[in-house]
């Protein structure tokens, strides 16, 4: 392991992230939050720059050769460190203690959106902006941003890109990885401008429009309002956010193909069609369920919940927003799903694991992995009665190699093991089963709110410190798709060959 | 530039590496998934698995938009087919690498028959490079620009006591009309300063006034008597080709081939050069053939170790200069430690030739040095350039320090500028810079 090199790049990342905190200073000035607030944020910036400077100094003589091991370490450590640097403003302003600050920051960068802030409306705007801004940076990927901007990464950049980009087999859009990274960021930036403008015309202030855009496109979920999008109670705003959540959960390389002239690319893509199909099906099921139609249950059954009797319009609006928000792993809410019938809530939990498409800003297992798993299962079933037939596994007409199939299976197994262990650990800390279960599901899949005590209108503040640290790790593992974080815990990874 | 390379073997890999570091868009096609994986991991290029002579595959990966297509797989026929297919599908320039002398020697223009733009043979290119080295000792590259008023010469510094171990300011004081632009030493290249010490064995590039350059060149090279006795070891296609190139230009050319049948065949293809059926890696053989009177000994067998060791031996027995063919690219940069004067890697000759093609396409480029790391371009001064009102060394011009204005052409006058000089409207300049900062430097000039 080339520690110096890792230290050097970590130093550069830290300096860049600290520099970006300037945006908070600007909002503090704009809202005239007073000298104290300015001073607190500046303190965070200076602290961050000092840490970055120290790391850069430690790596001053490093060579520039970035190998696979260094790239993995850089992504894993980089995310853990960047979350710590991003946590500084919450801490220096005295808003949160260090563990809470780290949780909030990690939740921001990983676009989870779980919060420990109890009173959001009382939080200074500058901090709220930073919170949403971390979403935006983490959504398309901090490291992808660095690849686009830094001139010197070369082939090493490709390793970094693969470790951070979601999906089973991330491919470049252009032969040069730097081009790929900058194309992705430009598309992301373009979508950001469009959505901000739309929300602004829909009546949001520029501040709220920006924060909500960051939360939507990164599939994050932080809102500067306590009641999230529901506080606007506007079907126009709901509509904009739904559309952009769906766009954010789509593979960004499809937009690139579309921009190059193939307008049908979206509809030709198997993954996208399945993705939209699931969204539609789940919306219809929940709409019907919310309209008060339920399977007959025994009178004393725990499954029986009071009928909501939503009108079909209202039911559809609430169902579609919540379904899209959960499946794309955004985590905004317009309704308190706690009062929904059990079937609807259960369906939401299932959707949590599906997540967005590969190459999107969404979390979860990704639609394409489910398609591969289902096709594998189907092939396996057929093999039981037609053992000699050879069936290639195809997606979009392309054969998926056994190597990729194996990685997807491994990934699924590891994911489920971590999830099971997490649920056990959270219940060990004294959380009720549904809370324990959904707190891990919501963080590992980068969604935000879970159910019961961590539901849409609740927060994560009551969880013990060790639980918050564990959930922070879950968020990082979910965002980086396990491997980059998991290898950090394998001792031989750190040894010299 | 959009470049496709079919075949990720040694040549393909080396080429992809050079082009990727030159910031070109490179796609490598290889039939072997493991090979693909390896390239994918090591280089910033995109990779495709498949048969590069398949028109369907080529079409699918967008070869129609290729500026350059290079076929460099193991088999000559496949390379020619792939290149011709790519050309037919719309690639702008296509190159096929061939190993067999059949396609280049027979006097038939395979290029036009197959509509392949360039057919390059590593062995033939290497033979040419060595012949060039023997004919013009020390001179590595020559180029004239600015209507012939400015000359550029790349030469190898000999052990001449006039320059070896002295600083540049001593041997080439400023104001002499000639500038030492680039020094290549042990695989590194840099733009020298006044206190740089010149060493023998350096490859140096001069730019300057056409009348004054020759004298300077002589000083760095010592006496450049044309060699008159050359010994070539190994009757490989390369050795044969070299002998053919030299036999009418050099007084005595001897080709050593240890196998009798091959020696006979070789002799029938040569007119003036003598074929000796002996193993030139034996000390006794070298001594008997009076190797101490030989000016240049070339080891050109297909075996690297034999080539290198025979060169060391020949030098020991008394050859004045030794040249070795080294096929393994990683060995080539090491042989200078063994007092071998020149090492030529046939595969690198191909990638360098292709690299020159790439740069040729960009109109302003005059020459490429140090395997593409340094470029020489001609540029005209723009009206808004900060160099019009400030002397060159003034930091206010924001002209990158690592770039060099080697010569200025003003009307019919050639000026080799110093830091105090200023540029005027209508000047055109010869600019030397590494590929990374070239763009910056050109921006300041505009």
B205-209, B293-297, B371-375 — which is least confidently predicted?
Answer: B371-375
Task: Say whether B20 and A176 touch across the interface (CB within 8 A).
Answer: yes
Confidence of residue A10 (pLDDT cuts 50, 70, 90): very high
Cα separation, A342 vs A290, in Å, equals 10
CA distance to partner chain B, nearest, from residue A446 (Å): 29
| Domain end (from B332, B350, B368) | B350
The predicted model gives B33-53 an average pLDDT of 86
Say if CB B371 and CB B333 are below 8 A apart: no
Lookup: tokens for A479: 């965002």
| Confidence (pLDDT) at B361 | 54
- DSSP bridge partners of B68: B3, B93
Whose structure tokens read 């809102």? A223
- DSSP bridge partners of B71: B6, B96
The predicted model gives A294-298 an average pLDDT of 57
The predicted model gives A137-160 an average pLDDT of 78
Q: Which residues of chain B make contact with A178, given a CB cutoff of 8 A?
A: 44
Tell me if B80 is assigned to some domain: yes
| Confidence (pLDDT) at A293 | 66
Per-residue model confidence as pLDDT tens digits over A408-466: 999 999 999 999 999 999 999 999 999 999 999 999 999 988 888 888 888 899 999 99
Tell me if B366 is assigned to some domain: yes
Q: What is the average pLDDT score of chain B?
A: 81
The predicted model gives A121-132 an average pLDDT of 91
Tell me if B388 is assigned to some domain: yes
Whose structure tokens read 């040095």? B369
- In this model, does residue B375 exceed pLDDT 90? no
Nearest to A176 among B25, B41, B436 (CB): B25
Residue B225 CB-half CA count within 13 A: 8
Q: What is the average pLDDT score of chain A?
A: 88
A166 Cβ neighbours under 8 A, 6+ residues apart: A356, A358, A359, A360, A362, A363, A366, A481
Per-residue model confidence as pLDDT tens digits over B381-429: 777 777 777 777 777 777 777 778 878 878 777 777 777 777 887 787 8
Chain B CB within 8 Å of residue A68 CB: yes
Confidence of residue B180 (pLDDT cuts 50, 70, 90): confident
Alpha carbon B127 to chain centroid, angstroms:
12
| Confidence (pLDDT) at B200 | 76
What's the CA angle centered on B190, arms B187 and B192, to 5 degrees?
Answer: 135
Chain B CB within 8 Å of residue A159 CB: yes
- Residues of chain A numbered 286-325 and touching chain B (CB < 8 Å): none
CATH of the domain at B93: 3.40.50.720
- The backbone torsions φ and ψ at residue A415, rounded to the nearest 5 degrees and listed phi first, read -60, -50
The percent of residues in chain A predicted with pLDDT above 90, rounded, is: 51
| Confidence (pLDDT) at A239 | 94
CATH of the domain at B381: 3.30.70.1450
Lookup: tokens for B341: 């004067």
- The backbone torsions φ and ψ at residue B54, rounded to the nearest 5 degrees and listed phi first, read -85, 120
Confidence of residue B368 (pLDDT cuts 50, 70, 90): low
| Confidence (pLDDT) at B137 | 63
- In this model, does residue A251 exceed pLDDT 60? yes
- Neighbour-count burial for A81-113, b at 16+ CB within 10 Å, e otherwise: bbbbbbbbbbbbbebbeebbbbbbbbbbbbbbb
Say if CB A75 and CB A66 are below 8 A apart: no
- In this model, does residue B216 exceed pLDDT 80? no
pTM of the model: 0.78
Say if CB B104 and CB B124 are below 8 A apart: yes
Nearest to B44 among A68, A151, A157 (CB): A157
| Confidence (pLDDT) at B363 | 42
The predicted model gives A286-303 an average pLDDT of 68
Lookup: tokens for A213: 């855009």
Per-residue model confidence as pLDDT tens digits over A458-493: 889 999 999 999 999 999 999 988 888 988 998 888
Task: Say whether A155 and B27 touch across the interface (CB within 8 A).
Answer: no
Cα separation, A245 vs A360, in Å, equals 11
Chain A CB within 8 Å of residue B40 CB: yes
Cα separation, B81 vs A217, in Å, equals 48
Counts for chain A of helices (H) and strands (E), in that order: 22, 2
Rg (CA), chain A: 22
- Give the torsion through C-alpha atoms of A78, A84, A90, A91, to 10 deg: -160
Per-residue model confidence as pLDDT tens digits over B299-341: 999 888 999 999 999 988 888 888 999 988 778 778 777 888 8
Least CA distance to A159: which residue of chain B? B41
The percent of residues in chain A predicted with pLDDT above 70, rounded, is: 94
Neighbours of B101 (CB within 10 A): 15
Cα separation, B260 vs B265, in Å, equals 9
Confidence of residue A11 (pLDDT cuts 50, 70, 90): very high
| Confidence (pLDDT) at B369 | 67
B353 Cβ neighbours under 8 A, 6+ residues apart: B118, B120, B125
On whether both B441 and B379 belong to a single domain, the answer is yes
Edge-first strand order for the sheet with B46-49 is B46-49, B25-30, B2-6, B68-71, B93-97, B118-120
On whether both B72 and B157 belong to a single domain, the answer is no
Considering its fold, how many domains does chain B have in total?
A: 4
| Domain end (from B155, B188, B221) | B221
Tell me if B8 is assigned to some domain: yes
- In this model, does residue B201 exceed pLDDT 80? no
Top pLDDT among A145 and A280 is at: A280
- In this model, does residue B224 exceed pLDDT 60? no
Task: Say whether A158 and B27 touch across the interface (CB within 8 A).
Answer: no
| Confidence (pLDDT) at B71 | 93
Compute the count of residue pairs across chains A and B with CB atoms less than 8 Å apart.
Answer: 34
| Confidence (pLDDT) at A193 | 96
Chain B CB within 8 Å of residue A179 CB: yes
Residue B207 CB-half CA count within 13 A: 29
What ipTM describes this predicted complex?
0.71
Neighbours of A437 (CB within 10 A): 22
Top pLDDT among A28 and B156 is at: A28
Chain A CB within 8 Å of residue B215 CB: no
| Confidence (pLDDT) at B360 | 61
The predicted model gives B357-369 an average pLDDT of 61
Q: Which residues of chain B make contact with A157, given a CB cutoff of 8 A?
A: 44
The predicted model gives A208-232 an average pLDDT of 91
Say if CB A42 and CB A180 are below 8 A apart: no
Tell me if B126 is assigned to some domain: no
Length of chain A: 497
Tell me which residue range forms the domain holding B240. 231-350
On whether both B203 and B237 belong to a single domain, the answer is no
The predicted model gives A262-267 an average pLDDT of 86
Tell me if B183 is assigned to some domain: yes
Give DSSP secondary structure letters for B137-162: TTEEEEEEETTTTEEEEEEE----TT
Per-residue model confidence as pLDDT tens digits over A77-89: 999 999 999 999 9
Cα separation, A197 vs A183, in Å, equals 21
Say if CB A334 and CB A321 are below 8 A apart: yes
| Confidence (pLDDT) at B147 | 64
List the domain boundaries for chain A: 397-494
Cα separation, B230 vs A174, in Å, equals 50
Chain B CB within 8 Å of residue A170 CB: no
Per-residue model confidence as pLDDT tens digits over B250-309: 888 889 998 888 888 888 888 888 888 888 888 888 888 888 888 889 999 988 899 999
CA distance to partner chain A, nearest, from residue B137 (Å): 38
| Domain end (from B287, B315, B350) | B350
């Amino acid at each position: 392991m080339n520690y110096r090199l890792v230290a050097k790049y970590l130093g550069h990342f830290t300096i860049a992230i600290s520099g970006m905190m300037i945006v908070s200073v600007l909002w503090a000035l704009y809202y005239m939050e007073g000298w104290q607030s300015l001073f607190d944020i500046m303190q965070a910036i200076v602290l961050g720059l000092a840490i970055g400077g120290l790391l850069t100094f430690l790596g001053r003589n490093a060579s520039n050769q970035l190998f696979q091991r260094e790239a993995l370490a850089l992504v894993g450590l980089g995310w853990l460190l960047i979350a710590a640097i991003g946590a500084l403003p919450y801490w220096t302003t005295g808003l949160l203690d260090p563990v809470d600050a780290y949780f909030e920051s990690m939740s921001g960068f990983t676009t989870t959106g779980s919060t420990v802030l109890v009173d959001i409306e009382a939080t200074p705007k500058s901090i709220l902006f930073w919170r949403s801004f971390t979403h935006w940076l983490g959504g398309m990927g901090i490291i992808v941003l660095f690849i686009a901007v830094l001139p010197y990464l070369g082939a090493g950049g490709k390793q970094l890109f693969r470790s951070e980009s979601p999906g089973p087999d991330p491919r470049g859009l252009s032969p040069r990885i730097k081009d790929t990274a900058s194309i992705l960021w430009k598309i992301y930036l373009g979508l950001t401008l469009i959505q901000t403008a739309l929300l602004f015309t829909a009546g949001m202030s520029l501040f709220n429009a920006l924060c909500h855009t960051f939360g939507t496109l990164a599939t994050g979920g932080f809102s500067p309002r306590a009641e999230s999008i529901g506080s606007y109670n506007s079907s126009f705003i709901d509509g904009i956010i739904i559309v952009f959540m769906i766009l954010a959960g789509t593979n960004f390389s499809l937009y690139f193909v579309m921009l190059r002239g193939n307008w049908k690319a979206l509809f030709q893509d198997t993954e996208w069609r399945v993705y939209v199909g699931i969204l539609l099906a789940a919306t219809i099921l929940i709409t019907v369920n919310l309209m008060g139609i339920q399977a007959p249950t025994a009178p004393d059954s725990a499954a029986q919940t009071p009928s909501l009797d939503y009108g079909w319009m209202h039911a559809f609006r609430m169902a579609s927003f919540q379904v899209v928000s959960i499946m794309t792993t955004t985590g905004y809410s317009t309704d308190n799903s706690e009062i929904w019938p059990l079937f609807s809530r259960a369906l939401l939990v299932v959707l949590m694991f599906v997540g967005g498409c590969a190459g999107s800003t969404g979390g979860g297992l990704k639609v394409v992995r489910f398609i591969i798993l289902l096709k594998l299962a189907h092939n396996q079933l057929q093999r039981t009665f037609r053992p000699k037939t050879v069936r290639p596994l195809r997606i979009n007409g392309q054969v998926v190699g056994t190597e990729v199939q194996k990685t997807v299976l491994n990934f699924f197994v590891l994911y489920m093991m971590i999830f099971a262990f997490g649920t056990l650990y959270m219940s060990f800390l004294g959380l009720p089963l549904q809370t324990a279960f959904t707190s891990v599901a919501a963080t590992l899949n980068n969604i935000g709110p879970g159910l019961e005590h961590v539901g849409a209108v609740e927060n994560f503040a009551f969880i013990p410190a060790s639980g918050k640290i564990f959930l922070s790790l879950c968020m990082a593992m979910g965002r980086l798709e396990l491997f980059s974080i998991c290898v950090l815990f394998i001792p031989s990874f750190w040894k010299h060959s | 530039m959009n470049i496709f390379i079919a075949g990720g073997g040694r040549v393909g890999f080396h080429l992809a590496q050079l082009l990727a570091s030159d910031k070109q868009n490179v796609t490598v096609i290889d039939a072997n998934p493991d090979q693909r994986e390896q390239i994918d991991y090591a280089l910033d290029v995109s990779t495709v698995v498949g048969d590069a002579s398949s028109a369907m595959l080529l079409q699918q990966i967008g070869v129609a938009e290729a500026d350059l297509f290079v076929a460099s797989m193991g088999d000559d026929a496949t390379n020619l087919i792939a290149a011709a297919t790519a050309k037919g599908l719309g690639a702008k320039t296509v190159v096929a690498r061939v190993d067999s002398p059949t396609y280049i020697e027979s006097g038939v223009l395979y290029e036009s028959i197959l509509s392949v733009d360039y057919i390059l043979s590593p062995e033939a290119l290497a033979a040419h490079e060595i012949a060039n080295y023997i004919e013009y000792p020390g001179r590595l590259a020559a180029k004239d620009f600015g209507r012939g008023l400015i000359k550029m010469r790349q030469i190898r510094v000999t052990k001449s006591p006039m320059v070896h171990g002295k600083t540049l300011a001593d041997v080439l004081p400023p104001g002499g009309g000639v500038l030492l632009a680039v020094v290549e030493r042990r695989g590194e290249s840099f733009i020298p300063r006044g206190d740089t010490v010149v060493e023998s064995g350096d490859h140096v590039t001069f730019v300057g006034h056409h009348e004054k350059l020759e004298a300077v060149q002589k000083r760095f090279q010592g006496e450049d008597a044309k060699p008159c006795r050359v010994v070539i070891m190994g009757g490989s296609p390369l050795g044969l080709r070299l002998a053919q190139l030299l036999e009418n230009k050099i007084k005595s050319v001897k080709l050593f081939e240890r196998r009798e049948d091959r020696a006979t065949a070789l002799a029938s293809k040569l007119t003036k050069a003598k074929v000796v059926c002996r193993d030139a890696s034996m000390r006794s053989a070298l001594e008997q053939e009076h190797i101490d009177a030989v000016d240049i000994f070339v080891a050109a067998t297909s075996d690297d170790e034999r080539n290198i060791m025979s060169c060391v031996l020949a030098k020991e027995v008394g050859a004045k200069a030794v040249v070795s063919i080294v096929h393994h690219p990683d060995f080539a940069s090491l042989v200078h430690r063994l007092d071998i004067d020149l090492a030529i890697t046939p595969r690198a000759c191909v990638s360098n030739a292709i690299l020159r093609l790439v740069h040729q396409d960009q109109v302003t480029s005059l020459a490429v040095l140090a395997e593409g790391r340094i470029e020489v371009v001609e540029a005209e001064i723009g009206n808004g350039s900060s160099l019009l009102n400030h002397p060159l060394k003034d930091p206010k011009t924001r002209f990158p320090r690592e770039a060099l204005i080697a010569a200025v052409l003003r009307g019919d006058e050639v000026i080799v500028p110093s830091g105090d000089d200023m540029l005027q409207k209508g000047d055109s300049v010869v600019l030397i810079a590494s590929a990374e900062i070239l763009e910056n430097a050109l921006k300041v000039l505009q």
